[in-house]
Structures are given as structure tokens and as C-alpha cells.
Structure 1
Amino acid sequence: MEKRKARNNPEMEGPREAESAIEGLAFISKGFKNWKDGTEGFRRHEKSLCHIDAVQVMLVLPQTVPDVGEALSQAHAKEKALNRRMFVRILENMKFWGRQGLPLRGHDDAESNFMQLLPLQKLHTPELRAWLERRVDKYCSPEIQNEILQLMSHSILRNVAKSIHAAEVFSVMADECADVSNKEQLALCFRWVDQELEAHEDFVGLCQIDNISADTIVAAIRDCMLRLNLQVNRCQGQCYDGASNMAGHRSGVTKQLGDEEPRALFVHCYGHSVNLAMCDTIKTTVLTRDSLDVTSELIKSATFSSIIGQGQQSILDNYLVLQELWDEVLAGSVDPDVRARVIGVKAQMETFNFFFGISLARLVLAHGDNLSVSLQSSTMSAAEAQKIARLTVDTITKMRTENSFSMFWEATVAKRHQFDVSEPQLPRKRKRPQRYEGGDEPAYHPSSPEGHYRQLYYEVLDSAKSSIQTRFNQKGFAIYTQMENLLLKSAKGVDATDEFKAVTELYGEDLDSNLLLTQLSLLQTQLTSDDDVTFKSVLKFLRGYSTSQRQLLSEVVKLVRLILVSPATNAMSVRSFSAMRRIKTYLHSTMGQSRLNSVMLLHTHKDRTDALSVVELGNAFVDVTGSDHRRSIFGTFTDADLAA
């Protein structure tokens, strides 16, 4: 201490030290004036004790103390640590609200869910009470909430984009729907295949569009790809609904993207296809169409709505209950319109024609529903979906036998006796229309009610079979069939020259034809060549290989990826709309697009939301450009702030 005082006080030093100290003051407080001998003065100052001390301080201080404020005051360091702990609580709350898809804001900021949850936590954290009583720097405003949500959602989006980039190819899925504020939203999803040959479908956001024209939707898809840095030439599949703006052959979305990338094959969502096939089946036959029309009128009644509320949704399972309720309704005083509707429904339910119609419709629609549910898996590929559809068609075909009809007829007639339903009757004979007249063959008229309903039974089954085959016979699926046949025929040692030529011509440089031919023959030696070789068995065999071992069959793996990357349905987009309706409700119809997208990503990708690091989010919040004030308040977040 005495030595340092001597360095700063010329009177306590010797003649040379005093002269050096006086010159040092010129560079510290008095100012330097002898510019004539300035160079010599600078050199002497570099050797002075005060300059050496200053250099040592500047070199040592940044290594030992990260912040000047902390070096000057330990209280400031403690305040920063407290601020970090409180802000971690805010980040954890935001993470919870976003993951659960819950609204943060209320009628005003004080009544918001976010601000009401924090006071509950202050009971266990006294420091949080003082934080919330601050007038400034609470970091709880709606603007800060939006910024935090955006940081979290961008982190998830970067994670998703990284996964898609790691995959060699991807498919795009899109669908549009109006939200509660009547704004058109376009849901965008991508399907990709990871290194373990597992398919994934990821929602990447909602895009608010002015209209649903093909040009607008294509522009939104391209903008999304640009933001995620995805190249169009890596898009190998498209999956939309069958509307003209999406699947139009002249200017639809699939046509415009297909012109830019011919390998982006279009698959009409199989979920929509099943729905349309069942609608075609019901509308084609008069019996089922009329029965379902009566059912529609029945469902509109308040009586059936009360039964649905009890968890019993089947008309056939509640036939007696409904018949008794109609009598009770008619016995009371009801509105004339309701009375007329009840009388009509009651009369129809007493006829065998209606009873047989809904029983047959239930039989066919059950298979359609089972097919639809099976297709909604995110891991389901278009090629595998076709096989499931063929299984359903085969099942319906086996039902078209005399034995199957006899069993169905006997069960229906037996149930008729349990209900107040009339006996089956033949319809009156009608003359065949003039346009069908020709030849000497007389018009066919069934000789018994069973024969009449047998004809209707076969007609409905034929219509269902034909409708499913027609809806699933898509142009873009032909190449997937050829790719799968190439793989399976080669594994069995069967000639697949035509399939090999078609696949290699389409994908060009994506597949090395010579190397693929060699690896297909190698695959044959590795697999057991018998009739049990299926795509699933080949896939299981490849998944059993390690990543390095798959290099031996690299082109075969590419072929498998191209088969897997095509989605079977666009169910992921539809699920995102369900999430949108839970998040943007009538009470929160003014939610901004940025906040809606952020919460949608957090709510949809729950696993990725759980994996978000609060420490990294805190540092990202502090490191925003021009945020020196935030750094002075929080400093740097560490894992110690989580344990506090």
C-alpha cells in the first residue's frame, strides 16, 4: 500500500521517481503539452510505473471478473443472479402455457392467465413478489411474451428444419381452413425419412392467405421452403385434397409444382378418397340414400342429441328407445314443424325398408371407417396404404356371396321381430323406362322379398368395391407401384427390367443405375428368396443394418426412402386445424398471426418443447441486438440459475 501511495505522490519518491511520476500525471489528469519532444515523452511513459500498473490491471481484470459492475459491487452480482432466477420462472411459465396450448392474455394484462399464475407461485417464492411489484423491468408485458414465444418457436422450427435437411428427400402436405375470425389459414407440413428409415411428419406453421387460389397457395409453399432453406428439387411428393385449386390438371398446386419438379408426385389424400368413396356408395343406391336422409332428419332432433350426450351414438342400438320417445313427444304439445318431422321419422322407422337400409349402410360404412382409421398413421406410406385398401376391397368381395347374404338376411329379419318393424314386402312392379326397352327379354322382377333385398345387397357391395378402387387408382401411384415391384422382384430373383427402366428414367441422376443394379443383386443373396418376401420384410432387414453397413446398399436405401417419403393421408394438416380451434377460440379471436404460429408450434411439437433449454432461451433473449440494458440486468444464464 505504501509503495502504491509513493507511486502516486511525487513528494514521497526520490528525484528520478518524482520526475517520472510528474510526467505520468500529464497522461492521467493534467494533460500532455510537450508535443515537440512527444515521442521521447511517450517512450519514457511506457517505462513508468503508473503505465505498467495500468497495463497489468487491463490484462488481469477481464480474466478474473467478467463484468465491471460485479467487480465494483458484489450487491450488483447478487441482484443479477436474483433477476436471472425470476426470469427463469417466467420462461418456464411461458413454456408450460405454449406446450398446453392455453391462452396467456385476458381482458387486460392484469387479468391475463399469465399474470394470474405468477402470483400463485410467489407464495412459495418471496423474491417473486418483489419482482412483480416493480414498476419497470418486470418483463411480463404482451410484447415480451410474444418475443419469448417467438424465441421458443424459432428454436423448434430450426430443429425441424435441421431434421428435414438431414433427410435426402421430403414431401409437402398442405390444406386450408378458415379460423374463428374467418381468416383463411394454410397449414403446411413436411414428411421426411430419417437415417433409421423411419418416416416422420412435422407441422411447420400456418400461413394466413387472402384467398384459396392455386397461385396464392403455391406462393405460400415456396415462401415456406425458402424460409426453411429447402430446395424444390428435393421435393419428391405432394399430398393434398382433391379440390380443383389443389389437384387441378391445368393450373392446380400439384400441376405448378409438378412442372417445376416432375419427381414431386401427387397423391390425393387417401383419407379424403375413402370419404368420397363411401359418399359415392351411399348416393348410388336409392335404398341407402333414402335411409341416410331419414337418419339425418333423426339426428337433428333434440331427443337423439340427448342420447348422444349419454355416449350411445348408434340408431340401431337405440331403436326401441327412440320408438318409445317418439310416442312421448307426440303425446305432448310440440311445435307443428317438430311434430311433422317426428311423425315422418316414426313412420319410416316402422318400415322394413328403412331398417334394412341402415343395417346395410352400417355394414359397409364400418369397413370404410376401419380403413380410414388405419390410413391416418403418420408412418403410413402411400404404397402401404394401397395394400390396406386392397385388403378392404377383398373383404367386401368375399362378402358378396350367397352364404354371407343369407347370414345378414337372417340376422336382420330376427332383429325385426324385436322392434315394431313391418314385414319385408315386394315393391310394386313398374314398367321399364323406354330408353331401356330393346330385345325380347322381359323385365326382371324378384319373386320374393328376399330376392329383392338380395339384389339391393349385391348392388351396395358392388358400388362400395368399385368406388374404393376408382378413388385409389391414382396416376401418381403408378410409379410407387413400379418402385416396390422393382425392389421385391429383384429380391426374389424375378426379372424386373421394365420397372428398372421406368424408375431410373424418372429419377435420373438421383439413382446410379449401374450401382443400383449391382446392389439389387446383392440384396437377393442377403434375403431368402421365397414368396414371403414383402416390402416390410425388406425394410426390417435394412433397419437391422448399421448406418455404415447400409452404405453397402446405398442405392437400395435411396429407393426405399423414395417409397416411404410419400404420405398416405394429409391427416397431420387436419390435426393442426383441430389444435388451431383449441388455441384461437371465440374469446381469443383477435390473436395475432405471429403469436398463433408460435403457440401452434409449441403445442404441436410437445416433445421438442419439453426439450427446450431454459438457459439457452434466457441467453438468446439477452443477446438480442442492441440489448445492452438486458445484459446489465441479467448477465449470463447458467445451469446454477435453474437449481436456485
Structure 2
Amino acid sequence: MERYFMKKSTLESEIPQTQKQKEDNVVNPESHGSKRNYMEFDLANLPSDPGLRTPIIEYDPNLRDQVRRTYLQKGPCQPRNHTFKQTMQGNVMRRFNPLWFDEFPTWLEYSIVKEAAYCLCCYLFKMDSKKHSGSSDAFVSEGFTNWKKKEKLREHVGGPNSTHNKAWNNCQVLMNQQQHIQTIVNKQNDQARSDYRKRLTASIDCIRFLLRQGLAFRGHDESEDSENQGNFLEILKFLCDHNEDIKRVAIDKCPGNLKLTSPDIQKDIVHACAIETTKIIVQDLKDSFFSILVDEARDVSTKEQMGVVVRYVNNDGQVIERILGIVHVTNTTALSLKVAIEDLFFKHNLSLSQLRGQGYDGASNMQGEYNGLKTLILKENQSAFYIHCFAHQLQLALVAVAKKNVSIEVLFIVVNDIVNVVGGSCKRRDILIENQAIKVFEALEIGELLSGCGQNKQSALKRPSETHWSSHYNTLISLVRMFSSAIEVLDLIIENPKSEKRAEASRLLDALQSFDIVFCIILIKNILGITNELSLALQRKDRDIMNAMNLVKIAKNRLQSMREDGWSSLLDVVFLFCEKHDINVINMDDGYIARGRSRRNAEKATNMHHYRVDLFYSIIDLQLQELNNRFNEVSTKLLICVSCLSPMDSFSSFDKKRLAQLAQLYPDDFSDVEVLALENELETYIIDVRSSTDFNNLLGINDLAIKLVGTRKNTLYPLV
């Protein structure tokens, strides 16, 4: 018979009951089912003192709303005439102030039994105290007694989305059932519900289209009289024009306040799409290992934001990259970024222990050796190896040079201005191309240039881009090739009294004909030429890691060789270039005069020291340092080992020893016994895949993983 009774609390056992009430506590099993615990009681006997109440979660779910409604109708327990107990707090005797009831009349309660304050709405609707830990627990179970800190009462209320305010909103909804959205929806007929669903589906489809295309939603003027209401409304209007059913429910027979097109509705739908999309990503990720890619994500809000992308392998063996979220960060210190990432992981039930890779740009707060983000994460997870983002690999090396050396920074400012001025109009661009064509023809006549198919093509000055390093290299090559033509165009601009660019052209002409700029152009062009093949190799989609690592080694060796033996040859090239274009050559033994600085404060040094030490050695050292930082010993070893899995050319890169080393880099995933077993498994694996026609013509590790899952060989070779 015990299953037909709910266990009584101590308080309820002390309340005297009549025989009829005791009989009412028994439930007929035939009418209610034998598996349900159910208790009927007199709602008038509910204890008013919050210190004596049974936790709301212990009531039967079918009775909780009745209990809540009864307590809300009674109102909070506020014994204003009670002599409140004094307690020693610090060095002063303090007690509850009954005036607080006037300040918080709707929820503040006082327990005479426990001499403590409670919150009525949190008691009624705060179901899980473990999920919402904090000050609200004291107002539900323990009772608040810290009378010297009245501010805790306001902190308990909190902001609009606080636990207390959510509970209070639930109280209002419970007492106003007729206005509840569910009640209104239930009152609607089937036709109204069907129309609403069609209207909502049309809005969602329009928003999904805009999200796929990456287009903006809002317009500056979304009023009915506007000729351009924004992409969302224009697409919805187009959809209505081509679908009479949608037009009927969305325009013709739709109430003005139920069109589902307002900006708030648009934002709500986008937010719902983001939540559902992220939920699917996390479900697909499950408990798999993953890597993260992090970069700045700035939008029209101009807030400091961080975009987090996860990369993982799904059940089909496909390598998947998905945006997990965009997080607002108060500052960009490494510790703040790590906290933001941990909060995002916690939100989606992910763990740092699942992390197996990090990819960032080269900013110091990201890849710092001691306090960078990658170092902070590596301290907690030694398997979360850091690989610098290939898209930024050599771009940031150039940025570092520009920031750390004023002469190089001035060079690229001048080059960028020359491209803008000389190629800023169609007329000047045509003059440049025409002059260059004449000079090419003259050079062909005297034999300076060779003719042939594809040579000496017509071109203008190339504009540098901030996303590809090779573009800077191409810009400098085009400037060296069209140097005389660019000077002639600048002369024409200066001679034209109607031109608005005369002053700027004069400044650029003076800079372009200086030995300092010419030296920097030749130096940077040669340095970028050494690393150009590596830059292009790292930007290809079909990236060959083994060859790329060889190019890294070659680039380092060439830069070191240039530093040791390349000064004389570079200086000869600069002198010949200056002689060809009538530029004054300086005496290297004279004292160097720094441009743009006070001569009184300038350090005394010869031109030879400045150009050889301050420019030549300094810039090459910066490049070597950048390459060493981006491709350190650990990351290079990791990349070379991973490349041994490549299926290209019948698994020609396969190396059993290096793959065993790869497993040893992840001690949390491969035990010593598994590393030993891996060698034998690799022997069988490589014979199997090389002899199978299913594994011919695969282009990369991604294709290999998909094919392993498709042929179910992933179960045969789990360590692989």
C-alpha cells in the first residue's frame, strides 16, 4: 500500500487531521493508476511560514500549480508586528528591518521559525538549485540573515534575465492564464493555425535564403511607402507575388500586428536559426576530438568580438568546419580570450580535454611563448598543438617588418599612394600603359628584352592586398618594371595646373627618386622573392605539406645565405638601378642623415652602417625570426608526420616510423602498448590499401578518411 501514498513531511505530520481528511489522502488505484504517487490535501492547511514549507519539487507535478496559485493568492508572509531577533554581526547587533517589506512588497518574506528572509516567487518556480547557484539559494532553502548587507536584496532581484525575474514572470503568467500565449493559440481554429504556420514559414524561408547568401536583412526605411525596404521585405514581397497562397495569409488576410516582418521578429528568427544550427553542430560533434580556429570577428556593432570555428571528423569520415559562435570580449588579453572560449565550451557541453589542435594568427596575445592563448591552453591540454594559420603565415611576417622598421613602413605607404595616384583614373592609367609599351618596344629594338609568346604583356601597376603576401611581391615587381613610366606620369600630373593631385604627385616623385626608397624596394623585392614559392604553396587548397616543409627549410637557408654573402651583390643592383633612372647615388662613407627626424637628436652613423646594419641585417633577421616562430620544431615535426598519412601517388609519403612518432605526440590517446601495436597494424594497413582499387586516385587525408569509413576499414584499423 505504500506506493499509493506520498511521503509526509515532518510539518504535515504535526498538523492535526480529521478522519475524513486522512481518508482523503488515500487514492483509489483503479481511478488514478497504480504507478503514480498522488496526494490530495486541503490547500487551506498549507503552512504560511516559509521556514516550514515543503519544497515545491516534492509536490506531485499535477498539484504544483494549485499550490503555487494558493500561495500567490495569499501573498508573501510578512509579519510586520513581529519582534525580529537581533544577532551579532561584526561588532554590532543587527536585525531584519520591516521597512524592507515596503520596498520589496511582492516577494520578500520572513520566517518567524527560522528568523530569516525568503523569496516567494523563487520558492515557487526555482526548481533546480544546482543549475542556478548563487545568492538566490539563500532566499529559497537556507534563508537570508546577513542584515548588514541590504544590497544583497537588490542583487537577488538582478537584471531582466535573472533567475528571480524569470520566476516572477512565471508567477504573473500563472495568475493570468487567459492572456497566456498557449491559451490564445489553443483557442484558435485549425484554419488560423494553418495560416499562421504558412506565414511564419515564409518569413523563415526568406531569412534562410539571406543567411545562405550572406546578405544584410534590414533596410534604412522599411515603411510601406519606401521604395527600398531592405532585402528581407523585398524578397518576401517577391515570394508573395509568385505564390497566391502565401500572399493571402501574409498580406491580404493578415492582421497588421501579425505579419511577422518587424525587426524584432527578424532578429528572433535569426536567433532561433542560430540556436538550432549550433545544436545540430554540437550533436554532430558528439564526443569526438576537435580543433579550434579563432580570429577577430568585427561587424557593424564595432564591438570587440571573437569568432570560434571548430574542425572535426564526422561519422562519415568527412573533415567538417563549422562556426560555433561569435563571442563578445571586453578585452583581447590571452586570459580573457581563454575564459571566453571556456564559457562557450561550457555552454555547449564541450571540454578542453577534447581539444586536439589550435589555429590562430600571429598576434602576440594568441601565439605568445609564455602568456599567449595557445600556451595557456597547452598548459591544461598538452595534446592541443598549435599550428599557425596558413592563410596568415607569411602575411604577418611582412606586417611585423612594416611595424618594426620605419623605412619599410614608409616604403609601403609610398608604394600604395603611387598606385592610387598613377592608377587612380582611367586617363592616367592609359598614359602609364602607353608609355610602358613605348619603352618595351625600344628595349626590344636594342636587345634589352627578348620577344616571345606570353612575354612583355600589357599591364599596369598591381595593387597590394592585405590578405596575400604574394600581392606585395607582384606590386614591387611591377613598380620596378614600370619605374620610368610611373615617374613620367607623376611629371604630367605636376605640370597640369588643373590637377588636384599636383601636391601629392610632387611628394611621391621626390620620394620615388630618393636612394632610400630605391634601396628598400630592391631589398624587399629580393626577400619576398625568396619566400614567394612558400607563400603560394601554403595558400593552395591541395596543399602538399611535405613539399611545403621543404620550402620552409629552403627559404630559411636562402635568407641566411643572403645575410652572410648577399650584401655586395644587392648594393651593385641598387647602384645600377639608380644609374639607369638618373637617381643620385650616395657615398656610403658619409654620415647618414635621417629624414623626418631632428638632426640634433639623430644618432651619428655612416650610410654604410645604416643601410647594411639597420636595414639589410635587421629586416632579414626579422624574416628569419618570423619563419622560426611560425614553423617551430614541434609544429614542423607534427606536420611532417601527418603528411605521411597522405594517400596521394599510391601512399608514396607513407612512413611507419614517423607515424609511430605522431602517435607518441598524443600520450592521452595512445598508450605505450597501443604504440607498439600500431607498428604491426600499419604494416597490414598499408599492404591492404595499396592493393585495393578503392584507394586509387585519392587527393588527400580527407578523401582517405571518407573512404576508410565507406569501406568499413576504420573498424579493421582503429589505431590508424
Tell me the TM-score normalized by structure 1. 0.56
- 1:417-464 CA-to-partner distances (Å, cap 9, x unmatched) read 5xxx127857343599xxxxxxxxxxx999xxxxxx999999799658
Contact in 2 for aligned 1:397/1:465 (Cα 8 Å): no
Instruction: Pick one of 512, 525, 544 that aligns with 1:349.
Output: 512
Q: Does 1:513 align with 2:675?
A: yes
SS of 2:331 mapped into structure 1: coil
Structure 1 pair 388–122 and aligned structure 2 pair: CA distance change class (3 A): same
In structure 2, relative to structure 1, the CA distance for the partners of 1:397 and 1:553 (3 Å cut) is farther
State the AA in 2 paired with 1:146.
Answer: K
Question: Does the C-alpha gap of structure 1 residues 296 and 157 become closer, same or farther in structure 2, counting only changes over 3 Å?
Answer: same
1:428 and 1:414 mapped to 2: Cα distance? 16
The 8 Å contact of residues 200 and 379 in structure 1, kept in 2 or not, is answered as no
Distance 1:365 1:200, change over 3 A: farther
**C-alpha distance in structure 1 between counterparts of 2:491 and 2:366, whole Å:** 50
3-state SS of 1:516 partner: helix
Aligned pairs for 1:191-340 within 5 A: 191-194=311-314, 198-279=318-399, 291-292=411-412, 294-295=414-415, 298=418, 302-306=421-425, 312=461, 313=463, 314=475, 315-316=479-480, 318-332=482-496
Check whether the contact 2:545–2:643 (CA below 8 A) recurs between aligned residues.
no
Q: Note the C-alpha offset of 1:517.
A: 3.0
2:265 corresponds, among 118, 123, 144, to 144
Q: Deviations over 1:359-416 (max 9, x none)?
A: 453354356466445435678698886455346557778999999x999989996998
- Structure 1 counterpart of 2:677, one-letter code: L
CA distance in 2, matches of 1:81, 1:494: 63
Aligned mates of 1:205, 1:309 — CA distance in 2: 47
Deviation of the 1:201 alpha carbon: 2.6
Which residue type is aligned with residue 171 of structure 1?
A: S
1:477 aligns with 2:635: yes
Deviation of 1:219 after TM superposition, in Å, equals 1.9
Q: CA deviation at 1:171?
A: 1.1
- Mapped to 1, the partners of 2:686 and 2:198 lie a distance apart of 61
Deviations 1:596-644 (A, max 9, x none): xxxxxxxxxxxxxxxxxxxxxxxxxxxxxxxxxxxxxxxxxxxxxxxxx
Residue 170 of structure 1, CA deviation: 0.9
Alignment of 1:427-506 (within 5 A): 427-429=587-589, 466-467=624-625, 469-474=627-632, 476-477=634-635, 480=638, 483-484=641-642, 499=661, 502-503=664-665, 505=667
SS at match of 1:104: coil
Matched, 1:132 2:251: yes
2:28 counterpart residue number: none
One-letter identity of the residue aligned with 2:632 = Q
Report deviation, 1:523.
4.2
Query: How many equivalent residue pairs?
Result: 455
Cα distance in structure 2, aligned partners of 1:500 and 1:339: 62
Q: Distance in 1 between matches of 2:403 and 2:587?
A: 20
Q: 1:200 to 1:273 in 2, by over 3 A?
A: same
Q: Give the aligned residue type for 1:375.
A: L
Equivalent in the alignment of 2:236: 118
Fraction of identical pairs, as percent = 20
> Residues 390 and 523 of structure 1: is their aligned pair in 2 closer, same or farther, counting only changes over 3 Å?
farther
CA contact (8 A) 1:176 1:212 kept: no
- Helix, strand or coil: the match of 2:286? helix
Segments of 5+ residues of structure 2 without an aligned counterpart are 1-30, 32-186, 430-459, 464-474, 593-605, 692-697
CA distance in 2, matches of 1:83, 1:107: 27
Distance 1:548 1:339 in 2: 71
* Aligned partners of 1:171 and 1:192 also within 8 Å: yes
Q: Structure 2: how far apart are the matches of 1:173 and 1:391?
A: 28
Superimposed CA distance per residue, residues 482-528 of structure 1 (whole angstroms, 9 cap, x where no aligned partner): 84599799997876799479436464549823432321343465588
In structure 2, relative to structure 1, the CA distance for the partners of 1:462 and 1:86 (3 Å cut) is closer
- With over 3 angstroms needed to count, the CA separation of the structure-2 counterparts of 1:382 and 1:208, relative to structure 1, is farther
Shift of 1:283: 8.2
* 1:105 corresponding residue in structure 2: 218
Partners of 1:493 and 1:524 within 8 A in 2: no
Matching residue's letter, 1:389: V
Aligned to 1:67: none
Q: In structure 2, what is the equivalent of residue 52 of structure 1?
A: none
Q: Would the aligned equivalents of 2:309 and 2:322 in 1 still touch at CA under 8 Å?
A: yes
Contact 2:522 2:574 in 1 (8 A): no
Helix, strand or coil for the counterpart of 1:230?
coil
Contact 1:238 1:266 in 2 (8 A): yes
Deviation at residue 195 of structure 1 after TM alignment:
5.1
Shift of 1:291: 4.6
Give the direction of change, closer, same or farther, for the CA distance of 1:428–1:332 in structure 2 (3 Å limit).
same
1:230-254 per-position Cα deviation (integer Å, ceiling 9, x unaligned)? 2221101122234443334444322
The letter of the residue matching 2:372 is G
C-alpha displacement of 1:187: 0.8
Q: Could you tell me how far 1:259 is from its partner in structure 2? A: 2.4
**8 Å CA contact 1:519, 1:552 repeated in 2:** no
* Deviations 1:145-189, CA, capped at 9 Å, x for gaps: 2232233223322232233337x3211222235544431111111
Taking the aligned partners of 1:188 and 1:506, their CA distance within structure 2 comes to 24
- Could you list the per-position Cα deviations for residues 101-143 of structure 1 after superposition, in whole angstroms to 9, with x for gaps in the alignment? 3333334553542334434444444451563252343222333
Change (3 A) 1:178 1:116: closer
| Mapped contact 2:338–2:377 kept (Cα < 8 A) | yes
- CA apart distance, 1:553: 2.3
| CA apart distance, 1:466 | 2.8
The alignment partner of 1:225 has SS state of helix
Give the TM-score taking structure 2 as reference length: 0.50
> Which amino acid in the other structure matches residue 328 of structure 1?
L
CA distance in 1, matches of 2:699, 2:238: 53
- For 1:381 and 1:217, the matched residues in 2 are separated by 32
**Whole-Å Cα distance in 2 between the matches of residues 445 and 208 of structure 1?**
49
Residues 482 and 503, structure 1, Cα contact 8 Å, conserved in 2: no
- State the one-letter code of the partner of 1:552: L
Could you tell me which amino acid in structure 1 is paired with residue 494 of structure 2? Answer: L
The answer as to 2:303 corresponding to 1:183 is yes
SS of the aligned residue for 1:190 comes to: strand
Tell me, yes or no, if the aligned pair for 1:171 and 1:191 is still in contact at 8 Å: yes
Is the alpha carbon distance of 1:553 and 1:397 closer, same or farther for their aligned partners in structure 2, counting shifts above 3 Å? farther
Look up the SS of the partner of 1:102 in the other structure: coil
Equivalent position of 2:582 in the other structure: 422
Q: Offset at 1:222?
A: 1.2
Cα distance between partner residues in 2 of 1:366 and 1:176: 30
**d(CA) in 1 for partners of 2:664, 2:320:** 27
Normalized per residue, which structure has more helix?
1
Shift of 1:554: 1.7
Structure 1 unaligned residues grouped into runs of 5+: 1-41, 43-71, 433-443, 447-452, 530-534, 557-644
What amino acid is the match of 1:231? S
* Cα pair 2:663 2:670 within 8 Å, conserved: no
For the 8 Å contact 1:294–1:345, the answer to whether it is kept is: yes
